[in-house]
C-alpha cells in the first residue's frame, strides 16, 4: 500500500491543485475568446488530479474504483458532446448545427454551442488522461514467462 | 524572427538525435521533452498560441506517461545494436535522400514560406466571427465549421483510452 | 453563405456515424450496469446500420453539409458528406460484415474477458470505417481513418498474450508511419490547393494539371494507403496482426478494414481528386500483380490456418488493385465486384477458423483432421468459401476473377492476365490443402469429442455462405444497375467528381 | 529551406523507427515524426507579419495567419497523444510478458 508523501507535500499539493483546477476551468470556459479550449483545459485539470494522486498515494483497492469513475466521466463527457451535435439532427436540421443564439462577440456567453462543446470536451479529456495515467502507473506486475 | 525559428528547428533536430542515441531511457525521454518544448516555442513564434498551449500540456502529459511506463519497467536500453542489416540502412538512406531532393523540387511549387494559400481560410477569417460569434477563429473552426472533425478527435481519444484499458487487463482469456 | 436547405432523404447520412458512436459512448456505462446488454446493443446497432445501408441502394447522389455550412463565394466552408455509387457499395459491405461479425462475437467472445470494452472498440471501428467511406473532406477522412485504425490496434492486442501484443505493436508502428505519410500528403496538397474539400481539390488540380508536387503527393498516398492495405512491398505487418486478433475481428480486418482504409481511400483519391494518369495506373497494376503472386506464394508454405488466410488476403487485395489499375470500365467493375466478394468469403473463412479454434483450441492444420464430420455446418460453409476464393464456378469469386482477367485481355495486357490466372490456380492448391488437412479425412484421436459451435456462430457462417452463392447474381443486368455499375461509374467519372458534387 | 528542415526531422524520426530495437525508443521516434509533421503543418500556415487568429479590436482579419493548419494540427496533436498512450501501454505489457524491451530478444524468446 502506498501511503503517499509527507504532510508538507500533501498540504502544498492540495493548495496548488485548487489553483490548477481553477486555471484549467478558466481555459476551458474562455476557449472561444482566448487561446486554449476544451483540450488544453482538460489536460490541465487532469494534471491537478495527477498531482493529488501522486501526493496522496492510494490503496490498491481504490484504484479500480478510480479508473471506473474516470471511465464513466469520460463516457458521459463524450456522450453529451455527441448529444450536443445531435440536437440539430433531432430537430430536423443538420448534424452539428449551431442552434444556440450567437450572442455578442467578446462575451463569455456567446458563440452558441462552442462553450458547451468545450466544457464537454474538457470533462472527457480530463477524465481520459487521468484514466490513462492511473491505469499505467498502478499496473500490477503480471506473470513473467 | 526567422533566425529564431532556424535555431529552434536546429535544437529540435539535435534533441531528437540525442533522444534516439542515449542509452538511458529516462534521459532519452527528457531529450524528447526538449524537442516537444522547442516545438511549443516554435508555435508561439508562428503566431499559433492555441497550438502552443495544447502542445505544452500534451507534451507534459506524454512525458509523464512515458516516465510512468519507464519507472514501471526498466530505464536501460540494453542493446544499442541495429534492428536491420547495414545495407538496408544504406538503401533507406538513399531513398530518403531521393525523397528530400524530390520534396525540395516540389516545395518550389507550393506557396512560399510566409505567404499561405488562403483560398478556404479567407472565408473563415472574414465570416468567422459574424457567423459563429466566437472571437477565437481557431475555436470557431474546430468547434463549429469543422466540429465534425473535433467529434472524431474526441472519439480518437476515447478509443485510445478504451484501448489502453483493454490492453492493460490482467487476464485476457478466461481459463 | 446562405442558410442551406437539407436535400430530402439525406438525413440518414450522419446516422451511419452517429448511431454507432452514441452506442459506443454509452457502452462502458451501460455494460457495467447491465452485463448482458452489450451483446444486444451491439447487434441491434449493427443490424440497424445494415438496414440503413440497404436503403441507400438507388439513392441519388447526395451531398450532406455538416452543420449547415455550405459554400461561400464558390468555395466549400464546412465538411461535406458525399453519398455516391461507390459509397453505397462500401457502406453495404462494411455494415454487412460488421453485422455478421457481431453475431459471431456473442458466443465467441465469451472466451475472453471484458466483452464491454470489446464491443465498444468494435463499434468504434465501424464508426471509423463508415466515416471514412462517407467523408468528402480529406482531413476528415484522415481523422476517421485514425479512429478505425486505433480501435483495430487495440482489438489485435485484445487477447493480451505475448504474441498478440507483439503483433499489435508492430501493426501500430506500421499504421502510424502510414498515417504520417498520409498527413504529409494532405499537407502538401493543402498548401498547393488551399482547400481540404475533395471536390474542390479535384477542381483545382484538374485546372492546373499534373506537376512534380502532385506526383510527390500521389507517391505519399500510394505508400501510406498501400501500407494500410498491405500491398506487397508494404505487407510485413499483416501476417502477424490479422491472425492475432479474435476471429470476428480478423474477419473485420481482412474483410473490410484493409479495403476501406487502404483500397477505397486510395482509389477515391487517385481517381477523383488527383486524376488518373497512365503512370499511376501502371504502378497500381504492378503493385496488384506483385501482391497476387507474393501473397499466394507466401501462403503456400503456411500451416497455421489463420496465418494462411491472412496471406491470401494480401493476394486477393491484389486482384482488386489490378482490376482498378487497368483503368477500363470493365476492369474497375471487376475490381469492385471482387471487393464485395472477397469481403464475404474471406470473412467467412476467418469465421470458420474462429469456429475451429473455438471447438478444438488449435489452429495448426497438422493437428486437425476430419472436422467436417464433427462440425457439419462449419465444414460445409468453409468448403463453399474455399471454392469461392479459389475461383470455382458457380461461386462468386469465379466471376469477379474472370471479369478481371477478361479486362486484362481486353486491354491487351495478356501478361497480367496470365499472372492473375496463375495466382488463382495457386490459391486453389492452397485451399485444397486446407480442406484436406482440416476438414476431410480421418478424425484424429484428440478431436473425438469436438462439438459443433453454438447456434449464433453457425447462423453467421450460414448467412455469409448463402451470400457467397447469391452474390453471383449481382452480375445479372437487373441487379448490376443497382449496385455495381453506379459504383464503377463513380470511379470512371474521374475528375468530373468535383463538378458532380459541387453542382455545375 | 524551413520546410526542408522539418522534413529532415521527419526522416530522423523514421530512421529511429526503422533502426532502433528498443520498444520505448521506437515510441520516442514515432513521437518525433509526429512533431515534424506538426511543425511542417504550422509552417505552412504562417503569414509574414501576421497576427494570431484571435480577434482584437482594431486588427483587420486580413492580417491573420492561416487558421486552418492550426485547427488541423490541434486535432493531430490529440490524435498523437492517443497513439502514444496506446503504444506505450502495449510496450509495457510486452515488457511484463518477456522482461525486455528488445525486439530481437523478444522474437528469440517467442521461438
Q: Do C147 and B152 touch (CB under 8 A)?
A: yes
Q: What is the CATH number of domain D2-110?
A: 1.10.287.3510
Q: Do A117 and B61 touch (CB under 8 A)?
A: no
Distance from CA of A137 to the nearest CA of B (A): 6
In eight-state DSSP terms, residue C274 is: I
Q: Which residue of C has its CA nearest to D88?
A: C169
Per-residue confidence band for A89, with pLDDT thresholds at 50, 70 and 90: confident
List the single best residue of C183, C191, C223, C234 to mutate versus B (max B Cβ within 10 A). C191
Question: In this predicted model, which residue has the larger pLDDT, C394 or A130?
Answer: A130
Q: What is the mean pLDDT of residues C9-37?
A: 86
List the single best residue of D53, D89, D95 to mutate versus B (max B Cβ within 10 A). D53
Distances (CA, A) of B83 to B105, B164, C447, D27, D92: 32, 27, 42, 15, 20
Residues in contact with C231: Cβ distance below 8 Å, sequence separation at least 6, in sequence order: C262, C287, C288, C290, C291, C314, C317, C318, C321
Q: Above 90 in pLDDT, residue B109?
A: no
Q: Using beta carbons and an 8 Å cutoff, which residues of A are at the interface with C? A: 68, 71-72, 74-76, 78-79, 82-83, 85-86, 88-89, 92-98, 145
Q: Which residue of C has its CA nearest to B104?
A: C213
Distance from CA of C188 to the nearest CA of D (A): 9
CA distance C356 to C461: 12
Query: What local confidence, expressed as pLDDT, does residue C1 receive?
Result: 47
Sequence ranges of the domains in chain D: 2-110
Across chain C, mean pLDDT equals 88
Chains A and B form CB pairs within 8 A to the count of 142
3-class SS string, C25-66: HHHHHHHHHCCCHHHHHHHHHHHHHHHHHHHCCCCCCEEEEH
CA distance C88 to C80: 16
Q: Above 50 in pLDDT, residue C406?
A: yes
Residues in contact with C356: Cβ distance below 8 Å, sequence separation at least 6, in sequence order: C305, C363, C368, C371, C375, C378, C438
Chains B and D form CB pairs within 8 A to the count of 261
Distance from CA of A64 to the nearest CA of B (A): 11
Residues paired with A24 in a beta bridge = none
- In chain A, where does DSSP find H-type helix? 7-29, 38-56, 60-90, 114-137
Q: Which residue of A has its CA nearest to C163?
A: A145
Sequence ranges of the domains in chain B: 1-77, 118-170
* A17 within 8 A of A48, measured Cβ to Cβ: yes
Q: Do C120 and B156 touch (CB under 8 A)?
A: no
Q: Do C162 and D14 touch (CB under 8 A)?
A: no
Contacts of D87 in chain C (CB under 8 A): 169, 172-173, 176
Per-residue confidence band for C173, with pLDDT thresholds at 50, 70 and 90: very high
Q: Do D89 and A136 touch (CB under 8 A)?
A: yes
Contacts of B54 in chain D (CB under 8 A): 74, 77-78
In eight-state DSSP terms, residue C159 is: T
CA distance A110 to C263: 43
Q: Which residue of B has its CA nearest to C73?
A: B123
Q: Above 90 in pLDDT, residue A143?
A: no
Q: What is the mean pLDDT of residues C37-60?
A: 89
pLDDT tens digits, C193-220: 888 888 888 888 888 888 888 888 999 9
Among D79, D87, D106, the residue with its CB nearest the CB of C172 is D87
Among C157, C160, C183, the residue with its CB nearest the CB of D37 is C183
Residue C44 at interface with chain A, using a CB cutoff of 8 Å: no
* B132 within 8 A of A97, measured Cβ to Cβ: no
CA distance A120 to A38: 7
Q: Above 80 in pLDDT, residue C447?
A: no
Query: What local confidence, expressed as pLDDT, does residue D61 receive?
Result: 64
* D46 within 8 A of B113, measured Cβ to Cβ: yes
Determine how many CB atoms are found less than 10 A away from the CB of residue C330.
Answer: 17
Q: Do A85 and B148 touch (CB under 8 A)?
A: yes
Of C394, C392, C369, nearest to C447 by C-alpha is C369
Q: Do D91 and C172 touch (CB under 8 A)?
A: no
List the single best residue of A31, A34, A102, A144 to mutate versus D (max D Cβ within 10 A). A144
Query: What local confidence, expressed as pLDDT, does residue C146 receive?
Result: 92
Contacts of C150 in chain D (CB under 8 A): 82-83, 86
Contacts of D99 in chain A (CB under 8 A): 144
What cell was used for A13? 499539493
Q: What is the mean pLDDT of residues D16-22?
A: 85
Q: Is C114 helix (H, G, I), strand (E, B) or coil?
A: coil
Contacts of B61 in chain D (CB under 8 A): 81
| Among the ranges given (A24-38, A115-129, B104-118, C133-147), the one the predictor scored with the smallest mean pLDDT | B104-118
Q: What is the mean pLDDT of residues C109-136?
A: 90
Q: Above 70 in pLDDT, residue B30?
A: yes
Query: What local confidence, expressed as pLDDT, does residue C393 receive?
Result: 82
Query: What local confidence, expressed as pLDDT, does residue B121 receive?
Result: 77
Per-residue confidence band for C63, with pLDDT thresholds at 50, 70 and 90: confident
What cell was used for C218? 500521389
Q: What is the mean pLDDT of residues C119-126?
A: 93
Q: Above 60 in pLDDT, residue A1?
A: no
Query: What local confidence, expressed as pLDDT, does residue C472 receive?
Result: 85
DSSP letter string, D25-68 = HHHHHHHHHHHHHHHHHHHHH-BTT-B-SB--TT--GGGBPPHH
Q: What is the mean pLDDT of residues C145-156?
A: 93
Distance from CA of C345 to the nearest CA of A (A): 35
pLDDT tens digits, D77-96: 999 999 999 999 999 888 88
List the single best residue of A129, A130, A143, A144 to mutate versus B (max B Cβ within 10 A). A129
3-class SS string, B53-106: HHHHHHHHHHHHHHHHHHHHCCCECCCCCCCCCHHHHHHHHHHHHHHHHHHHHH
Of C255, C254, C278, C274, nearest to C265 by C-alpha is C274
Q: Above 50 in pLDDT, residue A145?
A: no
Cα pseudo-dihedral C343, C143, B58, B120, rounded to 10: 170
Among A71, A128, A133, the residue with its CB nearest the CB of B157 is A128
List the single best residue of D67, D79, D81 to mutate versus A (max A Cβ within 10 A). D81
List the single best residue of D15, D23, D24, D41 to mutate versus B (max B Cβ within 10 A). D24
Q: Using beta carbons and an 8 Å cutoff, which residues of C are at the interface with D? A: 139, 143, 146, 150, 153-154, 157, 160-163, 165-166, 168-169, 172-173, 176-177, 180, 183-184, 187, 190-191, 196
Q: Which residue of D has its CA nearest to A125?
A: D78
Residue D58 at interface with chain B, using a CB cutoff of 8 Å: no
Residues in contact with D94: Cβ distance below 8 Å, sequence separation at least 6, in sequence order: C162, C165, C166, C169, D23, D101, D106
Contacts of C200 in chain B (CB under 8 A): 120
Q: Above 90 in pLDDT, residue C95?
A: yes
Q: Kind and range of the H or E element at C179?
A: helix C162-193
Q: Do B164 and D85 touch (CB under 8 A)?
A: yes
In eight-state DSSP terms, residue C271 is: I
- Give Dmax (Cα) for chain D: 69
In eight-state DSSP terms, residue C246 is: -
Cis peptide before C465 (omega within 30 of 0): no
Contacts of A99 in chain C (CB under 8 A): none
Contacts of C21 in chain A (CB under 8 A): 82
- pTM assigned to the model: 0.94
Q: Kind and range of the H or E element at C81?
A: strand C80-83
Residue D32 at interface with chain C, using a CB cutoff of 8 Å: no
Q: Do C162 and D97 touch (CB under 8 A)?
A: yes
Of C454, C389, C482, nearest to C108 by C-alpha is C454
CA distance B161 to B157: 6
Among C11, C65, C67, the residue with its CB nearest the CB of A98 is C67
Among D67, D85, D101, the residue with its CB nearest the CB of B124 is D67
Residue C7 at interface with chain A, using a CB cutoff of 8 Å: no
* C380 within 8 A of C465, measured Cβ to Cβ: yes
pLDDT tens digits, D38-74: 999 888 888 887 777 777 766 666 778 888 888 899 9
Is residue C10 classed exposed, middle or buried when 0-12, 13-18 and 19+ CB atoms within 10 A define those classes? middle
Among C139, C160, C162, the residue with its CB nearest the CB of D72 is C139
Counting every residue written for chain B, the total comes to 175
List the single best residue of D43, D79, D105, D106 to mutate versus C (max C Cβ within 10 A). D79
Q: Do A95 and C18 touch (CB under 8 A)?
A: yes
Q: Above 70 in pLDDT, residue A3?
A: no
Q: Above 90 in pLDDT, residue C71?
A: no
Among D29, D95, D104, the residue with its CB nearest the CB of B20 is D29
CA distance C227 to C219: 12
* B120 within 8 A of C197, measured Cβ to Cβ: yes
Q: What is the mean pLDDT of residues C46-50?
A: 93
Amino acid at each position: 500500500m502506498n501511503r503517499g508523501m509527507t504532510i508538507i507535500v500533501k498540504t502544498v499539493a492540495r493548495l496548488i491543485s485548487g489553483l490548477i483546477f481553477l486555471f484549467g476551468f478558466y481555459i476551458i470556459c474562455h476557449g472561444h475568446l482566448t487561446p486554449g479550449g476544451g483540450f488544453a483545459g482538460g489536460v490541465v485539470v487532469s494534471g491537478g488530479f495527477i498531482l493529488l494522486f501522486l501526493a496522496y498515494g492510494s490503496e490498491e483497492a481504490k484504484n479500480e474504483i478510480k479508473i471506473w469513475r474516470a471511465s464513466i466521466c469520460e463516457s458521459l463527457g463524450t456522450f453529451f458532446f455527441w448529444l450536443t451535435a445531435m440536437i440539430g439532427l433531432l430537430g430536423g436540421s443538420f448534424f452539428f448545427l449551431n442552434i444556440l443564439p450567437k450572442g455578442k462577440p467578446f462575451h463569455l456567453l456567446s458563440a452558441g454551442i462552442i462553450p458547451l462543446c468545450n466544457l464537454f470536451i474538457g470533462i472527457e479529456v480530463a477524465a481520459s488522461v487521468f484514466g490513462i495515467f492511473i491505469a499505467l502507473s498502478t499496473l500490477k506486475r503480471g506473470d513473467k514467462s | 524572427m526567422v533566425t529564431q525559428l532556424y535555431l529552434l528547428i536546429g535544437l529540435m533536430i539535435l534533441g531528437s538525435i540525442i533522444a534516439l542515441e542515449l542509452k538511458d531511457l529516462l534521459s532519452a525521454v527528457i531529450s524528447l521533452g526538449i524537442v516537444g518544448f522547442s516545438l511549443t516555442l516554435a508555435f508561439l513564434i508562428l503566431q499559433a498560441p492555441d497550438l502552443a498551449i495544447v502542445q505544452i500540456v500534451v507534451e507534459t502529459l506524454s512525458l509523464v506517461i512515458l516516465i510512468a511506463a519507464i519507472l514501471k519497467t526498466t530505464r536501460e536500453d540494453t542493446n544499442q545494436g541495429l534492428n536491420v542489416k547495414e545495407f538496408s540502412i544504406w538503401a533507406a538512406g538513399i531513398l530518403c535522400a531521393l525523397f528530400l531532393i524530390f520534396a525540395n523540387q516540389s516545395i518550389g511549387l507550393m506557396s512560399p514560406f510566409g505567404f499561405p494559400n488562403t483560398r478556404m481560410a479567407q472565408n473563415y477569417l472574414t465570416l468567422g466571427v459574424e457567423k459563429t460569434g466566437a472571437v477565437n477563429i481557431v475555436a470557431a473552426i474546430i468547434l463549429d465549421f469543422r466540429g465534425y472533425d473535433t467529434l472524431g478527435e474526441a472519439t480518437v481519444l476515447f478509443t485510445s483510452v478504451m484501448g489502453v484499458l483493454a490492453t492493460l487487463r490482467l487476464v485476457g482469456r478466461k481459463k | 453563405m446562405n442558410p442551406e436547405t437539407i436535400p430530402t432523404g439525406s438525413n440518414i447520412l450522419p446516422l451511419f456515424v452517429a448511431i454507432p458512436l452514441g452506442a459506443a459512448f454509452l457502452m462502458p456505462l451501460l455494460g457495467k450496469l447491465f452485463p448482458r446488454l452489450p451483446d444486444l446493443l451491439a447487434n441491434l446497432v449493427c443490424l440497424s446500420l445494415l438496414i440503413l445501408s440497404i436503403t441507400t441502394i438507388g439513392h441519388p447522389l447526395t451531398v450532406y453539409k455538416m452543420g449547415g455550412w455550405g459554400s461561400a463565394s464558390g468555395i466549400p466552408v464546412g465538411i461535406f458528406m458525399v453519398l455516391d455509387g461507390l459509397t453505397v457499395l462500401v457502406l453495404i459491405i462494411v455494415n454487412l460484415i460488421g453485422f455478421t461479425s457481431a453475431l459471431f462475437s456473442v458466443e465467441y467472445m465469451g472466451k475472453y474477458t471484458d466483452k464491454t470494452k470489446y464491443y465498444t472498440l468494435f463499434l468504434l471501428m465501424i464508426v471509423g470505417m463508415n466515416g471514412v467511406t462517407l467523408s468528402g473532406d480529406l482531413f476528415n477522412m484522415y481523422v476517421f481513418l485514425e479512429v478505425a485504425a486505433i480501435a483495430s490496434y487495440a482489438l489485435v492486442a485484445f487477447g493480451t498474450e505475448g504474441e498478440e501484443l507483439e503483433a499489435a505493436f508492430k501493426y501500430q508502428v506500421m499504421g502510424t508511419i502510414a498515417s504520417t505519410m498520409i498527413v504529409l500528403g494532405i499537407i502538401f496538397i493543402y498548401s498547393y490547393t488551399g482547400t481540404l474539400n475533395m471536390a474542390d481539390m479535384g477542381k483545382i488540380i484538374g485546372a492546373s494539371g499534373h506537376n512534380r508536387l502532385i506526383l510527390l503527393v500521389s507517391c505519399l498516398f500510394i505508400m501510406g494507403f498501400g501500407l494500410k492495405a498491405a500491398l506487397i512491398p508494404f505487407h510485413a505487418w499483416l501476417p502477424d496482426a490479422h491472425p492475432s486478433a479474435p476471429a470476428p475481428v480478423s474477419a473485420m480486418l481482412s474483410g473490410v478494414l484493409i479495403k476501406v482504409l487502404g483500397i477505397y481511400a486510395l482509389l477515391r483519391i487517385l481517381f477523383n481528386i488527383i486524376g488518373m494518369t497512365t503512370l499511376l495506373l501502371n504502378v497500381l497494376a504492378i503493385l496488384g500483380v506483385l501482391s497476387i503472386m507474393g501473397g499466394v506464394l507466401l501462403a503456400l508454405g503456411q500451416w497455421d490456418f489463420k496465418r494462411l488466410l491472412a496471406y491470401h488476403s494480401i493476394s486477393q487485395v491484389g486482384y482488386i488493385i489490378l482490376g482498378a489499375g487497368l483503368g477500363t470500365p470493365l476492369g474497375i467493375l471487376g475490381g469492385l465486384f471482387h471487393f464485395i466478394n472477397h469481403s464475404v468469403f474471406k470473412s467467412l473463412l476467418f469465421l470458420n477458423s474462429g469456429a475451429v479454434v473455438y471447438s478444438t483450441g488449435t489452429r495448426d492444420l497438422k493437428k486437425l483432421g476430419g472436422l467436417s464430420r464433427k462440425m457439419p455446418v462449419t465444414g460445409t460453409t468453409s468448403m463453399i468459401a474455399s471454392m469461392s476464393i479459389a475461383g470455382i464456378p458457380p461461386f462468386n469469386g469465379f466471376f469477379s476473377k474472370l471479369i478481371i482477367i477478361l479486362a486484362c485481355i481486353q486491354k491487351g495486357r495478356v501478361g497480367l492476365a496470365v499472372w492473375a490466372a496463375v495466382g488463382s490456380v495457386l490459391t486453389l492448391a492452397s485451399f485444397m490443402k486446407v480442406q484436406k488437412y482440416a476438414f476431410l479425412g480421418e478424425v484424429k484421436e484428440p478431436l473425438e469429442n469436438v462439438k459443433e459451435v453454438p447456434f449464433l456462430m453457425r447462423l453467421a457462417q450460414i448467412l455469409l455462405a448463402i451470400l457467397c452463392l447469391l452474390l453471383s447474381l449481382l452480375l445479372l443486368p437487373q441487379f448490376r444497375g443497382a449496385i455495381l455499375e453506379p459504383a464503377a461509374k463513380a470511379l470512371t467519372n474521374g475528375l468530373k467528381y468535383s463538378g458532380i458534387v459541387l453542382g455545375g | 529551406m524551413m520546410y526542408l528542415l522539418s522534413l529532415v526531422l521527419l526522416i530522423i524520426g523514421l530512421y529511429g523507427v526503422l533502426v532502433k530495437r528498443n520498444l520505448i525508443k521506437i515510441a520516442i521516434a514515432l513521437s518525433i515524426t509526429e512533431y515534424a509533421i506538426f511543425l511542417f503543418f504550422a509552417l505552412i500556415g504562417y503569414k509574414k507579419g501576421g497576427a494570431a487568429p484571435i480577434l482584437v479590436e482594431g486588427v483587420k482579419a486580413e492580417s491573420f495567419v492561416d487558421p486552418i493548419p492550426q485547427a488541423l494540427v490541434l486535432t493531430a496533436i490529440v490524435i498523437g497523444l492517443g497513439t502514444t498512450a496506446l503504444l506505450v501501454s502495449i510496450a509495457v505489457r510486452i515488457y511484463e510478458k518477456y522482461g525486455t524491451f528488445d525486439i530481437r530478444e523478444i522474437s528469440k524468446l517467442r521461438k
